[in-house]
Amino acid sequence: MEYELFFANKVYSSWGLRVWLLLRHFDIRFKQTVVPLYTSEHSEFEITHSPARQFPTLVVAAPAAQHVIWDSLAISEFLADVHQDKEFWPEDVMVRAAARSLCAEMHSGFKSLRSKMPVNLKRSYRSFQPDEDTQADIDRVCELWAWVKK
């Protein structure tokens, strides 16, 4: 099986970075292709790899066919299914359930944090003052990290 990971940008897109880091961490070979958002390459990508629309998208070339998998969590679950020797998820069923809870909340929550503090790995926002909702999200992340460390 050959993998090609399409992502928008490594500096601004934590979604794409998640899958990129996972592939690197588990030493899984892949080709990477950056598709700048809202360009003609993006439109071409949407036509060629329909119905995927967002990044990251993983294109899997298997002997009989080519498959398109999109959304960082769906891609991660696919990789965990295929590479069962790599221990993507904890072995213990209850620890695994807790890990899934954390991932699910990370994937669908933290709306204020995401919109007020978008990822930009080239900048540091030292003077940024979070509003109430953003501070609540920050507190929640800290609570979860403290809980994981226990």
Ligand X SMILES: N[C@@H](CCC(=O)N[C@@H](CS)C(=O)NCC(=O)O)C(=O)O
Residues that bind ligand X (CB under 6 A): 8, 13, 15, 37, 53-56, 71-73
Distance, in Å, from the CA atom of 66 to the CA atom of 6, rounded to the nearest integer, reads 14
Output 56 or 113, the one with its CB closest to ligand X.
56
- Which is nearer to ligand X, 58 or 134 (by Cβ)? 58
Cβ proximity to ligand X: between 35 and 134 the closer is 35
Burial of 76 (0-12, 13-18, 19+ CB in 10 A): buried
Q: How far is the CB of 38 from ligand X (least distance, A)?
A: 7
Please calculate the CA angle 133-124-147 and round it to the nearest 5 degrees.
Answer: 50
Q: CB–CB of 92/37 below 8 Å?
A: no
We find the least distance from the C-beta atom of residue 42 to ligand X, in angstroms, to be: 7
Q: How far is the CB of 104 from ligand X (least distance, A)?
A: 12
